Amino acid sequence: MVTGFTARLVRLMNEKDSLLCVGLDPALPGQRRSQTIAREYPKRKDENQARLAFCLEMIDKTKDFCSAFKPNQQYIAGFTRKDHVELTSAIRKADAVSILDYKLNDIGDSMESALFHIGKWGYEALTLNPFLGNMEEAIAVAHKHRPEIGVIVLTLTSNPEAVVYQKEAILGGRPLYQAIAQDVRKYGADGCVVGAAGHITEEDISAVRGIIGEDKVLLVPGIGAQRGDPMKVIVAGGKNLLMNVGREIIYSDNPKRIAEKYRELFKKTR
């Protein structure tokens, strides 16, 4: 079944002729050694306003070239409801979908609480960490929200440690990432997060696509700063690919130009 989130995302990808999702990771100066928001932003009233202003500027600069924005909860922690609503409203006005990279993972009551707030904040979808085994419940609660919240499940991630936990581990006679993909299909999630890093092969991507079907979304991080190969993803990933690029765009001297470059690269490769 195609959900309202998936249908809207696919429509926007077709209308804008873009597979690009821009990752919003507004790191404060001192939060890490490099790639942080410019010093001018923290001169504003507070850290929330600094990070929000940065995100809004990135949305304005890149909106013509992308179909989605993915704010990372690790970088916008502390946002008030008003901040979240301003962010998601700007994304909607930019004719793009908002995906909160939340990695939701908890017992049922706690997940329901998180989804309550995420819905109030205005996000159209979120990422889900399936390793507590509550995927079915989380998807059911998210899809009952009005408006509905899409769910994209961490399946095979770009970090090197994923090889041990997601590929070498066996569940039901198959690699764990394939078992997760089976549950994505079984429980009606909207798609999978599948990275583009070196340890992820075309065969891995094809296996996930073959299990979940063509109607689901593949959200693909690991391109850009992590040097993942978009070619193998596009060759093996089928339809409904959403290619995430974050730091290489938002911390560049010209985010607009780099976003356009990636949109054209994905179009040419496709």
By residue range, what is the domain housing residue 164? 4-269
| Angle (deg, nearest 10), helices 81-93 and 47-62 | 10
Alpha carbon separation from 154 to 64, 103, 127, 206 (Å, rounded): 28, 8, 7, 16
Q: What is the pLDDT of residues 165-191, one digit of tens each?
A: 898 889 889 999 999 999 999 999 999
For position 229, what pLDDT does the model report? 81
Q: Among residues of the chain, what percentage have pLDDT more than 90?
A: 74
The one catalytic residue in 43, 61, 103, 232 is 103
Between the two ends of the chain, the Cα-to-Cα distance in Å is: 25
Q: Where does 37-190 show beta strands of DSSP type E?
A: 68-71, 97-104, 125-128, 150-156, 170-171, 174-175
Among all chains, which residue has been given the structure tokens 């429509």?
11
> In the predicted model, is pLDDT for residue 227 greater than 70?
no
- For residues 238 and 64, the model is more confident at 64
What radius of gyration do the chain's Cα atoms show?
Answer: 18
More confident residue, 145 or 42: 145
Mean pLDDT across 196-204:
89
Q: For position 181, what pLDDT does the model report?
A: 97
Q: What is the pTM of this model?
A: 0.95
Chain segment 6-60, per-residue pLDDT in tens: 999 999 999 999 999 999 999 998 888 888 887 666 566 689 999 999 999 999 9
The domain spanning residue 62 has which CATH number? Answer: 3.20.20.70
Mean pLDDT computed over 246-259: 96
- Which pLDDT band holds residue 5 (cuts at 50, 70, 90)? very high
- Residue 270, pLDDT > 80, answer no
Report whether pLDDT(160) > 90. no
Q: What is the pLDDT of residue 168?
A: 81
- 103 labelled catalytic: yes
Number of folded domains that form the chain = 1
